[in-house]
Amino acid sequence: MDVSGKLKRTVIMNRERLSKSDFKKLMSQKDKKNTNLNHIILWFLNFDQSPEEITKQLVLTPTKTAVKGQEYLSGPNQTVKKIHKFSFWEYEWKIESNQFVGELVDKFIAEIIKPRFGEIKMLAKRIDAELKIVQYYYDGYNPGYHFSVDIMKILTEANLEIDIDTYCLTEE
C-alpha cells in the first residue's frame, strides 16, 4: 500500500485532523500550487421528481445529478460501491483563479441565477436549494467574502441557502 493509502486509512480510522502537508499527500498534490481553485454551485436536493424536470425548468444542463437509492462508485480508484441517500441536481463552475472569490460569485449570480430567478424561486419553495461556494485557497492572505445588499436580496428572495467552505492551503 502506498503512503497516501496508509494516510487515508489513518485519517478515516482515527478521525484525525489533517495537516496541510498531509492534505496535499491525500489529494496527490506534489508540487506547490499557487492558483486557487474555486467551485460555485447551484444545488437542489431532497426532491422526488426526476432531475430532468429541473433541467427543463431551468433550461440549464447540470454538471451532476443523482437519484435517491441509485448506486455509484466512490474512492480514489472508483471501487467503493455506495448508494445515494438523497436526490440532487447541481450546476457547477470550477474556476482556477486568484481573482477575489466574491467577484466570481457575483458573476455566477449575474449569469446563472438572475436569468432564472423566477424558476429557482419556485423550485426552492418546495425543495432544498443552496448556493455553495468552495475554495481551495493556495495563494494570498485572508480569504474573505463580501455580499452586497443587492446580492443578499436576490439570494434571500430566491430562497437559496448559502454554504461556504474555505480550505486555506497556503504554505506561509
Cell numbers linked to 99: 481573482
Beta bridge partners of 133: 40, 164
Q: Decide if 93 is inside a domain.
A: yes
User: SS3 of 8, please?
Assistant: helix
pLDDT at residue 172 greater than cutoff 70: no
The confidence score (pLDDT) of residue 100 equals: 87
pLDDT at residue 95 greater than cutoff 60: yes
Q: Decide if 2 is inside a domain.
A: no
Q: Decide if 14 is inside a domain.
A: no
Do 60 and 163 contact (CB within 8 A), yes or no? Answer: no
Q: Decide if 8 is inside a domain.
A: no
Model confidence pLDDT, tens digit, residues 58-68? 999 999 999 99
Q: Decide if 163 is inside a domain.
A: yes
Domain count, the chain: 1
Q: Decide if 9 is inside a domain.
A: no
- Axis-axis angle for helices 51-58, 117-126 (nearest 10): 150
The domain of 143 spans 20-168
Bridge pairing between strands 37-45 and 128-137: antiparallel
Residue 139 banded pLDDT, cuts 50, 70, 90: confident
Alpha helices in 66-148 (DSSP H): 101-108, 117-126
Q: Decide if 13 is inside a domain.
A: no
Q: Please name the amino acid found at residue 6.
A: K
The pTM of the full predicted model, rounded to 2 decimals, is: 0.76
pLDDT greater at residue 34 or residue 10: 34
Q: Decide if 35 is inside a domain.
A: yes
